[in-house]
Amino acid sequence: MGRTNPTLRDEFDRIEREWTPFRRALRRRHQPAFDAVFERARAHADAGSMQNPRDPWRALVFCVLVSQEAALAETGDGVQG
């Protein structure tokens, strides 16, 4: 039997597609930053799936926050852990 619900990665892809007009409106130099947000979210989608969120936006934001905090910690600017 297959999955009846889309995966969280599928949901992130759907959200990214919905925001394509926003990406196109960004200056070219800022478009890679837009792409990086979704890459950061996908990097933690497995953990986000364990939460089984009703609203994929909440999972996307939290996944991005975790990824950004980890990046800050690597540079010494974030929470020490």
- Pairwise CA distance, residues 57 & 78, whole Å: 24
Q: How many distinct structural domains can be found in the chain? A: 1
pTM value is 0.83
Range of the domain at 35: 8-75
Q: Is position 3 within any domain?
A: no
Where would I find the H helices in 19-79? 20-25, 31-43, 45-51, 56-75
Tokens of 39: 């890459």
Give the model's pLDDT for residue 22.
Answer: 98
Give the model's pLDDT for residue 2.
Answer: 62
Position 75 pLDDT exceeds 80 = yes
Q: Is position 81 within any domain?
A: no
The 10s digit of each residue's pLDDT in 1-60 is 566 778 999 999 999 999 999 999 999 999 999 999 999 999 999 999 999 889 999 999
Q: Is position 1 within any domain?
A: no
Q: Is position 58 within any domain?
A: yes
